[in-house]
Structure 1
Amino acid sequence: MKGKQKKIVLIILSFIFTFSASIALADNKINRLDDIVITGTKTQHTLQDVPVETIVITREDIQKKNSQNIMDLLKDVPGIQTSYHNDVFGTYTWLAKMRGLDFNSGYALILIDGQRAMGCGQSGGMGEYGVGINQIPVEMIERIEIVKGPGSALYGSDAMAGVVNIITKRAPQKATGSAGVAYGQYDVKRENSDGSEEDANGSRKMSKTYVSYGDRITDNVGYFIHYNYESADDIAEDPVKSWKHSFLGKLDAKINEKTDIFLKTEFSDYEKEDNREEDSYRLSGIIDWHLSQNHSLSLKGYTYNWDFTHGYPGYSYGYKYGDVGYHQAELQYTWDINNWNTLVLGGETQLQGIDYTIENDDGSVVSVNEDVKTSSLYIQDEAVLLDKLTLVGSARYDHHSTFGKEVNPKFSLMYQPQETTTIRACFGTSFKSPTIRQLYYNTPYRHGSFYAQSNPELKPETAVGYGVSIEQWFMSQKMMVDLGYFRNEIEDMVISEDTGTLYNGLTLMRYKNVEKAWTQGIEFMCRAYLTDELTASFSYTYTDTENEESGKELTYVSRHSASFSPAYDWDKYGIGVSASIAYNSKQYTNTDNTQQIDAGAVFDAKIYKQLSKTAKLSFEADDIFDSVPARDGSFHAGRTFTAKLDIEF
């Protein structure tokens, strides 16, 4: 272990010791179990009585963290590995995993306000098929709900490992405004094969500006608008500026005692100098009918479109342009049969379209114009028995225009032997349809240092997932400990395999189904709300993976990962501090497991000062010890400093 890493491990241990000792000082009751969540069952539950394993990141959590993007918010969640990502706008997030499976490849479903999100360069996804986590600026977020375990029974394809629902701010009950600016500076490092690093050309800069306002037009009608501007230099040998304008608008209206309407619009405009342009917009609406005390009906619809141009004619990595879209409508009926039984019935239709062209530098053209339609029905029955045992059975039927029917059931159990102890377990199946890139491209396309070839004979991936966890609260609900086990067994997993031939002088890769792969592991989390001022969290994940065809581990998965994040507020002086230490063990970068990224730990810190009742100044430092390990030859951000000013009015 390198000297810096030893030093950081000692810091982690000392923090944990201090954290454990400070529990005895706690004397104020802080209860977050009344937070309302909806993602896990599509019905409202408090965090205490939700029957599926759910973690919530609140607005208060977001304000205490070093959080330039969503990736940084998730690194404390056990089971989620954000690896050694760059906390800089516009950088890719394709290494992020949930229970050993890629977000970028669609194994964990990303939702925004309950609606599917498509990844792209501006969100950290790789190419037109990727699903990046950094979908929207953190200033727009009210909270994030993370639901673990197979989710196809309610959400269909792409929810094998779980669901991350990013929930944006709503219209306030009274006139409320906020604004802020941020400015940061960082160096870019290049990792050499001998483990040494070298600086790229000069230091880089990033900045952010936002403003939002909301109010009630009448007692029954409210609105909220938010604008963000972000910019940064690229993580590459030479600085290349990228920037993004984001807009969010919401309107809610109570038409009468039985009818509520929610409307939302989102726009974004992203550009990377001389290389990339992307525009996206999302329009959505929800009508809720409260038919009676026990019956409700909800009609939801949205359209999401993303237009993009990547590269330019003659660009060595290809000139790519086109658009991708999601269009969806859903009808859900909820019947509270009695105090202990709730039935949910729903139907959904979804259309994913792509009209996309790649002009390779060899003159060949890849052209795809495909529509994929999925029609679905789902049912869920939730029963509470003897006030201690909750059983949830759910199933979903999907008809995919390419692959035909899929049926995925799920069974969940929650047992509370006492008020402070909760045992949760689940078992379910899930599926993931191959992407349009994996299926339909008629010509190999350039992807970095190789060419990739589609395979129209691919089959959908299917999985069986199960898990069990026990959650225990101590000290009048000021400290929570959660320990769990999970396993995913995946059939026909799609991988990219070297064909052993060259195409235009580069390696030709082809997509194929492997017979079986699995991931399994242990997750541990401890959260403590020790006093009104002192909070802390510790998480640890052990993840084991295997591609059974080769007997090798899956790529970019750390067997051991851990994080520790304490925070303290001196309300009397208007000062707060927070820190985060994240550790990841080695991870293999190729399917043969012959190349790897070494183990390492990253230390971040933040200090903030309340200048007045409405203004707060903060300073953030990421990777203080400049210790991020990386792939051989890759560029990454080094030590980063950011200053922020936030104002409420």
Structure 2
Amino acid sequence: MKKYLLPFTFLCCTGLTAMAQEAMPGEELEDVIVLSDKLQIPFKKQNRNIQVLTAEQIAQIPAKSVNDLLAYIAGVDVRQKGPNGSQADIGIDGGTFDQTLVLINGFKASDPQTGHNMMNIPIPIDAIERIEVIKGAAARIYGVNALMGAINIVTKKDRGNTFSARLYSGSSFRNDDTTGNLYGNFGAQVVGQMSTGNWQHLVGASWDQGNGYRYNTAYKNTRVLYTGKGQLSKKVGLELLGGVANSDFGANAFYAAPGDKNATEQVNASYLAFRAPVQISNVWTLRPSLNYRNGYDHYVYIKQRPEVSQNKHRTHTIDASLDNTFTTGYGNIVVGLNVRSEQINSTNLKDHSRLNYGAFLEYQYQWKEKLDVNLGAYVNQNTDYGFNVYPGIDVGYQINNNLRAFANAGYGQRLPTFTDLYYKGPGNQGNEFLNPEYMIGYEAGLKYRKNEFYANASFFLKNGRDFIDWVRADSTSPWMAQNFTSLNNKGVHFDAGYGKTFGAVLLNIYGGYTYLNPEIGSITDASKQDWMSQYAVNALEHQAILRLNATILKQFNIGINNRYQQRLNAGNPLNGYSRKSYVLTDIRIGYQVKRFQVDADVNNLFDIKYIESGVVPLPGRWYTLSLIYKLK
């Protein structure tokens, strides 16, 4: 374990970001344009429940991956199976991991093989400007698979010439029973930005490696990212994105416990994308875009005997769009086309491909700065599932300078993944006759903002049919993919923030709460009424988040981050690990001296034993020390 302790010594001798002084809640969001919106509507004018986590807030959360950050956004259900971003399933407002669309700077990044891999993205935490979580059906904007919402990760830009470097090391100070070594991890991040004339460039890289926290949970994660933005001419711009994400980890109990105790998995993804806004005239902007994703997944059931069972999957996804925005005296209009190709070559799933052809129209009208209406529809033709239309509408009314009412409704569809359709294994069986899932959602709420305080409250109802679930007759049978039931979800959401300076102390408080009441409708096949379900009603019934942060004299910072989760139908504790309800506390203490900063983190402060997914116990108390250097 000496190799895991060496970085602690090194940290004392070398050097990441200057202490972020968090702005007052909501201040930095007033004029932010939500990149996940084709109409380019400012955040303060949005008529949807959109949660945003800013770079300043991110700096106060002791997160080691994007997955950890999402866990502190109310309504987002993060079910991790491994440490520090190895693998996680992300759901929104009771949805499953396959019902959420992931984007990077507005480019689609989801994996058609399986939603298990959707967070394998090439983004170091220090390269993130903000995370946007759009709740409710977003098919009107993005087409298929944005059934329960979308997550858009926006990278930093327009910050001049900057450089930051982070070195860190951590441990639980517990020993591996097999080897006697101390469990621990170490890693590094570097992010640089450069402005040259009309161009801004960002290059980021991160590397994280550890020997795990229990048997066969060692991992190694590597991320490399480039983004660029500039002007080719006065009227033609260009946005670029490229990146690589590699993860190699022990997959003990991930998919087929207890038989997969010695399983391993390697997941790689490469991304290339561009967008070229063209100002055709004062009223017409053309935005062509193209993005490509290459994915590779290699799963070995028994690492000591790979010949027993192993799967290799290679996916290719190409997504091309042509958006046209027209600004007129009668409102703003966006009309466009989209083509998406998904292909897989697999030793298990075999070779398959499908195409989506989409056309969309959105219209925005505003009346006297009080009432605004956004409505539209997405028309989709899929080579496997035919023709569908996804309409949607949202309405907002500014009651006064501080209070805004909003309501929205939308319809969406989720296509079965290639794993849902074609997987064949001893513990899981796909079903090539699956139909897509469908959902119609409604939401209404209020947004209040005054000076240092803001609050949002909403009620939502989501009615789904042909829900794709993995079910089985008894505990000895394999899980089988089925359009098992209809599923209705209703709930409430509330969040609020307050920030104020008291002398030399800047205090920020954020609280969020989500309540879900899902109801299973009629079972599609009455003969399977008593079958076991893996995903139907396993969402978070109660989720509460409380983040407290204080910055003293612009040098000393302390962040206390708490979350409470209570899950439906989670079962009794497993070997002392809670699956139903628990409270987790993570803290970060930081101190800045000129360009250097030291962060001391403790995750799972009270050493809670808990499980988020399946039968996979997650790490107990974990200590991390980071040294940060920033140059601007």
Same fold, judged at TM 0.5 (above): yes
Q: Which moved more, 1:514-523 or 1:388-397?
A: 514-523
Deviation per CA, 1:238-280, whole angstroms, max 9, x where unpaired? 4x53212221122323122111112221123333379333332
Matched, 1:97 2:91: yes
Alignment partner of 1:211 out of 174, 186, 190? 190
Report the CA distance shift for 1:590/1:160 in structure 2 as closer, same or farther (over 3 A).
Answer: farther
Report the CA distance shift for 1:309/1:81 in structure 2 as closer, same or farther (over 3 A).
Answer: closer
SS state at 1:101 partner:
coil
Alignment partner of 2:228 out of 232, 251, 258? 251
Q: Which moved more, 1:49-58 or 1:427-436?
A: 49-58
- Separation (CA, whole Å) in 2 of partners of 1:28 and 1:97: 29
- Separation (CA, whole Å) in 2 of partners of 1:91 and 1:337: 48
Question: Counterpart of 1:299 in structure 2: which amino acid?
Answer: P
Q: Give the structure 2 partner of residue 5 of structure 1.
A: none
Q: Which moved more, 1:543-552 or 1:42-51?
A: 543-552
Report the CA distance shift for 1:39/1:162 in structure 2 as closer, same or farther (over 3 A).
Answer: farther
Matched, 1:177 2:163: yes
Question: Counterpart of 1:399 in structure 2: which amino acid?
Answer: Q
Distance apart, 1:636 and its partner CA:
1.7
Question: Counterpart of 1:529 in structure 2: which amino acid?
Answer: G
Matched, 1:462 2:438: yes
- Separation (CA, whole Å) in 2 of partners of 1:434 and 1:212: 37
Equivalent residues in 2 for 1:427-466 (5 A)? 427-441=409-423, 444-446=424-426, 451-466=427-442
Alignment partner of 1:295 out of 252, 271, 284? 284
SS state at 2:419 partner:
helix
Question: Counterpart of 1:98 in structure 2: which amino acid?
Answer: I
Q: Give the structure 1 partner of residue 328 of structure 2.
A: 337
- Separation (CA, whole Å) in 2 of partners of 1:313 and 1:544: 45
- Separation (CA, whole Å) in 2 of partners of 1:390 and 1:30: 21
- Separation (CA, whole Å) in 1 of partners of 2:362 and 2:408: 14
Report the CA distance shift for 1:128/1:314 in structure 2 as closer, same or farther (over 3 A).
Answer: farther
- Separation (CA, whole Å) in 1 of partners of 2:593 and 2:356: 53
Does the 8 Å contact 2:286/2:323 carry over to 1? Answer: yes
Deviation per CA, 1:60-114, whole angstroms, max 9, x where unpaired? 111111111122222332222336x4783244322x43111122xx212111111
Q: Give the structure 2 partner of residue 149 of structure 1.
A: 136
Q: Give the structure 1 partner of residue 124 of structure 2.
A: 137
CA RMSD, Structure 1 to Structure 2 (Å) = 2.9
Report the CA distance shift for 1:30/1:114 in structure 2 as closer, same or farther (over 3 A).
Answer: closer
Report the CA distance shift for 1:48/1:90 in structure 2 as closer, same or farther (over 3 A).
Answer: closer
Question: Counterpart of 1:336 in structure 2: which amino acid?
Answer: T
Deviation per CA, 1:482-520, whole angstroms, max 9, x where unpaired? 1111111111001112145x9xxx522221112411111
Does the 8 Å contact 1:187/1:637 carry over to 2? Answer: no
Deviation per CA, 1:385-441, whole angstroms, max 9, x where unpaired? 122111111100111110001101001001111111111111111011111122234
Distance apart, 1:556 and its partner CA:
3.0
Deviation per CA, 1:138-185, whole angstroms, max 9, x where unpaired? 122111111111111111122121111011223x45322111111111
Matched, 1:282 2:262: no
Distance apart, 1:587 and its partner CA:
3.2
Does the 8 Å contact 1:40/1:52 carry over to 2? Answer: no
Matched, 1:37 2:33: yes
Report the CA distance shift for 1:303/1:279 in structure 2 as closer, same or farther (over 3 A).
Answer: same
Alignment partner of 2:101 out of 102, 109, 132? 109
- Separation (CA, whole Å) in 2 of partners of 1:200 and 1:549: 51
Matched, 1:509 2:479: yes
Distance apart, 1:232 and its partner CA:
2.2
Question: Counterpart of 2:520 in structure 1: which amino acid?
Answer: N
SS state at 2:44 partner:
coil
Report the CA distance shift for 1:86/1:69 in structure 2 as closer, same or farther (over 3 A).
Answer: farther
Does the 8 Å contact 2:87/2:116 carry over to 1? Answer: no
Report the CA distance shift for 1:634/1:456 in structure 2 as closer, same or farther (over 3 A).
Answer: closer
Q: Give the structure 2 partner of residue 361 of structure 1.
A: none
Matched, 1:630 2:630: no
Matched, 1:540 2:517: no
Alignment partner of 1:186 out of 172, 175, 178? 172
Distance apart, 1:316 and its partner CA:
8.6
Q: Give the structure 1 partner of residue 239 of structure 2.
A: 262
Alignment partner of 1:228 out of 171, 181, 206? 206
TM, length-normalised to structure 1: 0.83
- Separation (CA, whole Å) in 1 of partners of 2:26 and 2:297: 47
Equivalent residues in 2 for 1:215-614 (5 A)? 215-217=194-196, 219-238=197-216, 240-272=217-249, 275-311=264-300, 314-315=305-306, 318-338=309-329, 341-357=331-347, 366-441=348-423, 444-446=424-426, 451-474=427-450, 476=451, 478-499=452-473, 507-531=477-501, 533-549=506-522, 554-572=536-554, 574-589=555-570, 597-612=579-594, 614=595
Give unmatched runs, 5+ long, in structure 1: 1-26, 121-126, 191-197, 358-365
Report the CA distance shift for 1:346/1:200 in structure 2 as closer, same or farther (over 3 A).
Answer: farther
Q: Matched residue pairs, number?
A: 577
Report the CA distance shift for 1:165/1:562 in structure 2 as closer, same or farther (over 3 A).
Answer: same
Question: Counterpart of 2:161 in structure 1: which amino acid?
Answer: A
Distance apart, 1:41 and its partner CA:
2.9
Does the 8 Å contact 1:382/1:390 carry over to 2? Answer: yes
- Separation (CA, whole Å) in 2 of partners of 1:435 and 1:110: 15
Q: Give the structure 2 partner of residue 195 of structure 1.
A: none
Distance apart, 1:296 and its partner CA:
0.4
Report the CA distance shift for 1:129/1:224 in structure 2 as closer, same or farther (over 3 A).
Answer: closer
Report the CA distance shift for 1:598/1:52 in structure 2 as closer, same or farther (over 3 A).
Answer: closer
SS state at 1:130 partner:
helix
Distance apart, 1:200 and its partner CA:
11
- Separation (CA, whole Å) in 2 of partners of 1:544 and 1:229: 40
Question: Counterpart of 1:545 in structure 2: which amino acid?
Answer: P
SS state at 1:32 partner:
helix
Report the CA distance shift for 1:28/1:225 in structure 2 as closer, same or farther (over 3 A).
Answer: closer
SS state at 2:421 partner:
helix
Matched, 1:615 2:596: yes
Report the CA distance shift for 1:459/1:54 in structure 2 as closer, same or farther (over 3 A).
Answer: same
Question: Counterpart of 1:542 in structure 2: which amino acid?
Answer: Y
Question: Counterpart of 1:140 in structure 2: which amino acid?
Answer: A
TM, length-normalised to structure 2: 0.85
Does the 8 Å contact 2:120/2:246 carry over to 1? Answer: no
Q: Which moved more, 1:148-157 or 1:507-516?
A: 507-516
Distance apart, 1:616 and its partner CA:
1.0
SS state at 2:27 partner:
coil
Does the 8 Å contact 1:118/1:130 carry over to 2? Answer: no
Report the CA distance shift for 1:337/1:187 in structure 2 as closer, same or farther (over 3 A).
Answer: farther
SS state at 1:153 partner:
helix
- Separation (CA, whole Å) in 1 of partners of 2:443 and 2:402: 20
Equivalent residues in 2 for 1:160-171 (5 A)? 160-170=147-157
Alignment partner of 2:53 out of 46, 52, 57? 57
- Separation (CA, whole Å) in 1 of partners of 2:467 and 2:26: 44
Question: Counterpart of 2:109 in structure 1: which amino acid?
Answer: A
Give unmatched runs, 5+ long, in structure 2: 1-22, 251-262, 524-528
Amino-acid identity (%): 18
Report the CA distance shift for 1:481/1:628 in structure 2 as closer, same or farther (over 3 A).
Answer: farther
- Separation (CA, whole Å) in 2 of partners of 1:107 and 1:30: 29
- Separation (CA, whole Å) in 2 of partners of 1:29 and 1:544: 30
Does the 8 Å contact 1:237/1:635 carry over to 2? Answer: no
- Separation (CA, whole Å) in 2 of partners of 1:208 and 1:134: 17
Does the 8 Å contact 1:399/1:406 carry over to 2? Answer: yes
Does the 8 Å contact 1:185/1:205 carry over to 2? Answer: yes
